[in-house]
Amino acid sequence: MTKTQPTKHKAVAFFLSVLAAFAFPTVVAMTAPVAHAEEDDGRPKIVVPRRGGREIFSEHCVLCHKYDGRGGPSEGGWGADLRQTALTRDQLIVIITYGREPKGMPPFKDLLEAEKIETLATFILDDLRLPELKNN
Ligand code: HEC
C-alpha cells in the first residue's frame, strides 16, 4: 500500500498534465477565432497607406510632374506643381481618379486600383509637398 500510493499519485499527476497539455490548446484554438472575429467587427478598419508611392509615381506621373513633383511643361499641358498643391487628400484622390482632361491631366481610374491612388495621394502630401506647406 505504502509503495503503490506515490506511483498512483504520479500517474494521476501525469494524466492531469497530459490532459492539460491537450485540453488547453484545444480550448484556445476553439475560442481564438471567435475572439478575433469580434475584435475585427468591433473596430473600424482604418487603412492609412504610407510609403510605397514613389514607385507608382515614377511609373505613371514623372513624365508630366517630374521626379520631385514640380511639374512644368509637359505632353498634356502645364503639369501642376504637386509640391505646392492646396488640395486635400480626398481632393487629390478625385483628381487622380477622374483627371482634368481639358487641362491635360489624364484619369487613372482604369490604370490604377483605388488603393494605389490613395497611396499616391498620401505620397504627394507626405513626401512631395514642401515642408513649409505641411501644416495646412
Ligand atoms: C500627360 C501628363 C500627366 C500625367 C501623366 C499626370 N499628370 Fe497630373 N496633371 C497634369 C496636368 C497638365 C495638370 C494640371 C491640370 C490643371 O491645370 O488643372 C495635372 C494636375 C494634377 C493634379 C492637380 C494638382 C492641383 O493642385 O491642382 C494632381 C493631384 C495630379 N496631377 C496628380 C497626378 C498623379 C498622381 C499622376 C500619376 C498617377 C499624374 N498626375 C499624372 C498632367 C499629367
Question: Which residue has its alpha carbon closest to ligand 1 atom 20?
Answer: 80
Question: Which residue has its alpha carbon closest to ligand 1 atom 3?
Answer: 64
Q: What is the pLDDT of residue 35?
A: 43
Task: Examine the pLDDT at 29 and tell me if it is beyond 70.
Answer: no
How many C-beta atoms surround the C-beta of residue 108 within 10 A?
Answer: 19
Q: Percent of the chain beyond pLDDT 70?
A: 65
Q: What is the pTM of this model?
A: 0.71
Query: Ranked by mean pLDDT, which of 20-24, 52-56, 118-122 comes out on top?
Result: 118-122
Question: Which residue has its alpha carbon closest to ligand 1 atom 26?
Answer: 85
Assign a CATH topology to domain 53-133: Cytochrome Bc1 Complex; Chain D, domain 2 (1.10.760)
Mean pLDDT across 66-85: 93
Q: Please tell me the distance from the alpha carbon of residue 73 to that of residue 1, in angstroms, as a whole number.
A: 100
Q: Where are the domains of the chain?
A: 1-44, 53-133
Closest CA to 67 of 136, 135, 128: 128
The secondary structure element, H or E, covering residue 16 is: helix 4-42
How far is ligand 1, taken at its centre, from the CA of residue 74, in Å? 10
How far is ligand 1, taken at its centre, from the CA of residue 94, in Å? 11
Any residues with Cβ below 6 Å from ligand 1, and which?
60-61, 63-65, 74-80, 82, 85, 87, 92, 95-96, 100, 103-106, 108, 120
Task: Examine the pLDDT at 38 and tell me if it is beyond 50.
Answer: no
Residue that is written with C-alpha cell 491612388 in the block = 117
**Model confidence band, residue 132 (pLDDT cutoffs 50, 70, 90):** confident
Task: Examine the pLDDT at 60 and tell me if it is beyond 90.
Answer: yes
Higher pLDDT, 12 or 10: 10
How far is ligand 1, taken at its centre, from the CA of residue 55, in Å? 16
Closest CA to 99 of 64, 134, 130, 59: 64
Q: What is the pLDDT of residue 66?
A: 96
When the pLDDT of each residue in the chain is averaged and rounded to a whole number, the result is: 80
